[in-house]
């Protein structure tokens, strides 16, 4: 019995397709992870400053990365001194940090540049 082999060399093999999907899967999520990490960094800084104020029962100025004028602080009860909206530049991205009066209330929004 004679085996006839057909030549299909003009398409992708399943292995090549899997390699392409693997590369795309590794490249695409990295830009979103950077934005998530920046937001988490800001959140961690705010929370750690607030916890420090409550733990040591003292006024703690918010990290200068977030509030460069150093006019934002937590009192010994963990409350912010003044409600405000700050634009935080970190890692080449702009984030909007909204701090409300009251215990530990803040929100971080990714800000789209006007360019």
Per-residue pLDDT, 5: 60
Per-residue pLDDT, 57: 94
Q: What mean pLDDT comes out for the span 82-97?
A: 82
Task: Give yes or no for residue 60 having a pLDDT over 90.
Answer: yes
Residue with tokens 């029962």: 57
Domain boundaries, the chain: 14-111
Which pTM was predicted?
0.61
Per-residue pLDDT, 69: 85
């Amino acid at each position: 019995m004679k085996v006839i082999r057909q030549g299909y060399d003009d398409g992708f093999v399943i292995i090549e397709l899997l390699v392409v999907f693997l590369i795309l899967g590794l490249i695409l999520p990295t830009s979103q992870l950077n934005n998530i990490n920046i937001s988490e960094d800001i959140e961690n800084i705010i929370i750690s400053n607030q916890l420090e104020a409550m733990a040591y029962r003292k006024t703690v100025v918010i990290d200068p990365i977030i509030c460069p004028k150093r006019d934002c602080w937590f009192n010994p009860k963990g409350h912010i001194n003044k409600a405000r909206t700050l634009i935080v530049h970190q890692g080449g991205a702009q984030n909007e940090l909204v701090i409300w009066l009251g215990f530990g209330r803040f929100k971080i929004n990714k800000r789209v540049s006007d360019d």
